A and B are shown apart, each in its own frame.
Chain A
Amino acid sequence: MDSAAAAGAAMKILRPLEIRRATELHHDRGGVPNTPLHVMGIALAFVAVGMLLSALIEAGSTNRDTGPLVVSGFLTFGLGAFLWWATRPGSARARDVFAAVGWTWIVITLVGALPYILAGTFDLGGTPMTEQIVNSIFESASGYSCTGSTALVDFESPGRGLLMYRQATQWYGGMGIVVLAVAVLPFLGVGGLDLMTAEAPGPSSDRLTPRIAETAKRLWATYAVLTVGVGIALFAVPGPSLYDGLAHGLSTASTGGFSPYGKSIGHYNSVLVESVIIIGMVIGGMNFAHHWRALQGRFSGYVNDPELRTYLLMLAVCTALVVGLLWVDGGLAFGAAFRAGIFNVVSLGTSTGFGNATNQASNGNFVLWVPAAQMVLLFLMVVGACTGSTSGGIKVMRLQVLLGHSIRSVRRTQQPRAVIPVRHGSHAVSEDIVSRMAGFFVLYLLLVLSGIVILTGLGAGLLESIGAIVGSLGNMGPALGEAGPTASFSEAFSQPARLVLALFMIIGRLEIFPMMLMFALPARALRERFS
């Protein structure tokens, strides 16, 4: 299979709606009908391209990890091509789509750990192999899920190509989730698109075109423009090199939060760099459909979107709160409080996870902040940014609808027979969508509670567990307590705890339902078989 065919095939992972059409096209091609394996093969080929491109950068720079990247790239491509060749799309039932999405992300996470394992990235001299493998899987999961938590301690030993691969994993994850949000989730019935449609002016929905594949391409193009834009802006300001610009562009547009430097953005200690990153993160947290329309010269999407207004208002209010608390209670000068406050609020409010701490005692290390300011950050970690963006969390729109739902419940107690619709902007949200969002939130809560019990059972502190579980499910990055922005998760959590966190990152990235169903389906099948 040539690379063009692989690239074309890879796009199919982004079009689950077209699986049925693909089934018809490939029906005479042979192979075992198996949708999950077929989708997985395409995705693996796609990932392999990233590994090989990173190998090129490595070969042209430090040339320390070229071999591991090339070997990983070819192995991954080979496996992907084999799966693609040996299978063909089967049924497009909901359960197959869930399985395809869930298993693809798990396998990509595992295969994505190969470069780290082969390069010995986590070998600090005598580090046991199991520790290295766990850290590699953790780093891979954190990358593909755009979380930004890291198990890396030594940022000097990995080559520049390997670090670029680490950045690219987040870019893949971000792109996947944007397309997933508008292409996969509506098919699965989670309701994000229905709601976006309801708020969009006119009959055209957030499917920017009638064809979902065309929509995916346009969103992908927007994503690329944002990545390049942030990269160029960073290169234009004093400090970052072209490499740095590209690396941070990849993880800013994807709201991932990885950086090739241990101190993250604090490495530059530059207000200009931080300003560019803040703008990039805010844009990354917005609905990408609005960006596409803006590129066409139509800015009405920004103006008419109640979710966007709330998102920006939330960031502004939280920044004011945090800055005020750091200034009044925290004893920082106003300028220092503002710089530390706005960067970290935007970083966590968009689920990016960059840090601007220059050292453990610096103002940017938010675990040293007054408790109320940290509480604001915890709230942002739960909420995240807008639907249709690359960010994680429960999303601003869900928060708005759930708040409306909650207020309605109280009002109904006073007026039991009143018909009170839940509104989002000027549109009434259907009861079905309210119900699904409430179900999502209840599941989210149950997962958070289970995760906290598991992590504390594995020896983590209560504060660290709360921060890490909320952060992982929301794809934030840094947690609280000993797992703050300047800490490595390999030091803060035990091996099993890191694996649990890796799983939670993927669950959070896929917005809970696909992974939960993926685990539930085998049990259901067994029950059906025995009954």
Chain B
Amino acid sequence: MKSSVIVFPGSNCDRDIAVALEKLQFKNSMIWHKENVLPKSDLIVVPGGFSYGDYLRSGAIAAKSNILNEVIKAGERGSLILGICNGFQILIECGLLKGALLRNSGLKFISKNIFIKIQSNKNKFFNKYKKNEILELNIAHNEGNFFTDKKHLDELEDNDLIPIKYCDKEGNINPKTNPNGSLNNIAGIFNKNKNILGMMPHPERMADKTCSNEDGLPLFLSLMN
């Protein structure tokens, strides 16, 4: 499978995701944001980091970069797109996903391991996980507090577009197990066609036993399935 990782000034998870993809034999290309051409890719990853120093709003400037026009076109054609952390913020700012990521309710940057529960595995991104499986992943963000209007929330819930929610080790989903104030503990969302996923936790940081667990690895295996 071919993948492309988009790189902006301020991206800092681009190498991590490339290592995870290459470990699974993806043929990966790193694509600088000024490029106007995107190589044919089965998967496009918009990685985490602090593109443009989070100026204006997180992801707002990156969403207007040259390459994003191509990413938008590819997304509309049905290519698989994964936005992680700042990548999720960029996908929202460019309109591929709806909603907004507000500042964490506790006003603090949060960098820690959290738990998420798989809500749905009938999609290209989570099919190697079991429904209700609990994963331990890392989050590292200041603006991860997902918010949207009632109409969009209903659309997400009615169409199985919320694949992951924050929980505790036992899988309890409630305000106490919500790290950042995200609406209904939402940790990630799909677009209508489920070919575009935005998520705040970092699966690429949990893809090698030498530095973590491997709870993120099945996500990449799912994409190959």
Q: Decide whether A and B assemble into one complex.
A: no
Chain B residues at the A interface, C-beta cutoff of 8 Å? none
Chain A residues at the B interface, C-beta cutoff of 8 Å? none
